[in-house]
Amino acid sequence: PHFYIALTKAKSIPGDKIVAGPAYIVLEDVPLPIGIPFGFFPSTRTSQSGVLIPTYGEEERRGFYLRDGGFYFSLSDYFDLAVTGDIYTNGTWGVRTRSNYKVNYKFNGSFGLNYMENVVGEKGLENYSKSRDVAIRWTHAQAQQANPNQSFRASVDFTTSSYDQNISHNINNVLRSTKRSSVSYSRMFPNAPFNLSASMSATQNSQTKL
């Protein structure tokens, strides 16, 4: 690497921690006068499950909220799972699930499923409305060294037409009207006069709902 922390004295406990005395930063092999009197660096190889603290705030349409609170599950070295939820004082609520997975030199990806019941206005008034929004997102990539003769990829972004307008907190997603999803598979047959390629794709327009 082009930079590192040089430890003048340290004790390493494998799988636990590294305790160091005075240390300084080295950039492109040049020691810098930036240092620390001592250091404590966790050195565990396992991830931990735990609570995800929600953020809080207020929206004009839906009132006060607690958002993105839940639990993170470290299920194994190959995949994890996060389950979070939102709740608003006007009755809006939702649940999100997201899982990342990876097997070195074989494949990696992520999968997410979101569900939201969105409430607008006060019940009993003319402006009251209630809608359900769903989002499914999946990405998958196969490592080339897993099978040089075969490839499988997926990029799926499917949502209900009003999802971004009701749920997203990213202005770029709100303004985006078109979503594209694709899944592709290809296979080469060595010493054969043919190859195989197949793909599926879908395009959504949130304005026309097509």
Confidence of residue 1 (pLDDT cuts 50, 70, 90): low
- What pTM value is reported for the model? 0.70
- Residues 69-127 have pLDDT tens digits of 999 998 888 999 999 999 999 899 999 999 999 999 999 999 999 999 998 877 777 77
pLDDT at 129 over 90: no
Across 14-41, average pLDDT: 88
What residues does 150 pair with on adjacent strands?
A: 187
Q: How many CB atoms lie within 10 A of CB 137?
A: 17
Q: What is the mean pLDDT of the chain?
A: 89
Find, among 184, 186, 181, the residue nearest to 201 by Cα.
Answer: 181
pLDDT score recorded for residue 78:
92
User: In angstroms, rounded to a whole number, what is the distance separating the alpha carbons of residues 34 and 63?
Assistant: 47
Q: Of the candidates 103, 51, 40, 60, which has an alpha carbon nearest to the alpha carbon of residue 82?
A: 51
- Check pLDDT > 90 for residue 171: no
pLDDT digits (tens, 9 = 90+) for 174-208: 777 788 999 999 999 988 899 999 999 999 988 88
**For residue 16, pLDDT beyond 90:** no
Predicted confidence at residue 176, as pLDDT, reads 76
Q: How confident is the model at residue 209 (pLDDT cuts 50, 70, 90)?
A: confident
pLDDT of residue 175: 74
Q: Phi/psi at 146 (nearest 5 deg)? A: -65, -45
The pLDDT of residue 207:
80
Is 90 exceeded by the pLDDT of residue 153?
yes
